[in-house]
Amino acid sequence: MKIFQCGHCNHSVFFENYSCENCGHLTGFRDLDRKMLTFKPDEVALFSDRENIEYKYCKNKEYEVCNWILEKDSPEVYCNACQLNRTIPNLSDSENFEKWQHLEIAKHRLVYQLQKIGLPLYSKMEDENGLCFDFVVQQDDPNLMTGHANGVVTILLKEADSVQREQMRKHFSEPYRTLVGHLRHEVGHYFWDRLVYTNQSTLTEFRAVFGDEQRNYGDALTAYYENGAPKDWQKSFISKYATAHPWEDWAETWAHYLHIMDMVETAYFFGVNVKPITKLREMKAKVTFDPYTKEDFDVIVRTCVPLSFAVNSINRAMGVPDVYPFVITPPVVEKLKFIHKLLLPKR
DSSP 93-154: SHHHHHHHHHHHHHHHHHHHHHHHHT----BTTT-TTSBEEEEE-GGG-TT--SEEETTEEE
Provide the pLDDT for residue 17. 93
Name the residue among 297, 302, 299, 310 with its Cα closest to residue 270: 310
Q: Residue 233: is its pLDDT beyond 70?
A: yes
Provide the pLDDT for residue 219. 95
36 against 347, higher pLDDT: 36
Distance of CA 335 to the CA centre of its chain: 18
Provide the pLDDT for residue 68. 97
Residues 18-44, mean pLDDT to the nearest whole number: 90
* Average pLDDT of every residue of the chain: 89
Distance between CA atoms of 103 and 86, rounded to whole angstroms?
14
Poorest-confidence range of 173-182, 202-211, 250-259? Answer: 173-182
pLDDT-based confidence at 43, cuts 50/70/90? low
pLDDT > 90 fraction of the chain, expressed in percent and rounded:
67
Distance between CA atoms of 145 and 156, rounded to whole angstroms?
7
Enumerate residues 6+ apart whose C-beta is below 8 A from 294: 300
Phi and psi torsions of 176, nearest 5°: -155, 130
Provide the pLDDT for residue 163. 63
Q: What is the pLDDT of residues 85-135, one digit of tens each?
A: 999 988 888 888 889 999 999 999 999 999 999 999 999 999 999 999 999
Distance between CA atoms of 344 and 347, rounded to whole angstroms?
6
Q: Residue 202: is its pLDDT beyond 90?
A: yes
Distance between CA atoms of 34 and 17, rounded to whole angstroms?
14
Provide the pLDDT for residue 168. 64
For 279, the enclosing helix (H) or strand (E) is none
Phi and psi torsions of 310, nearest 5°: -65, -45
Q: 3-class secondary structure for 81-96?
A: CHHHEEECCCCCCHHH
Phi and psi torsions of 305, nearest 5°: -60, -55
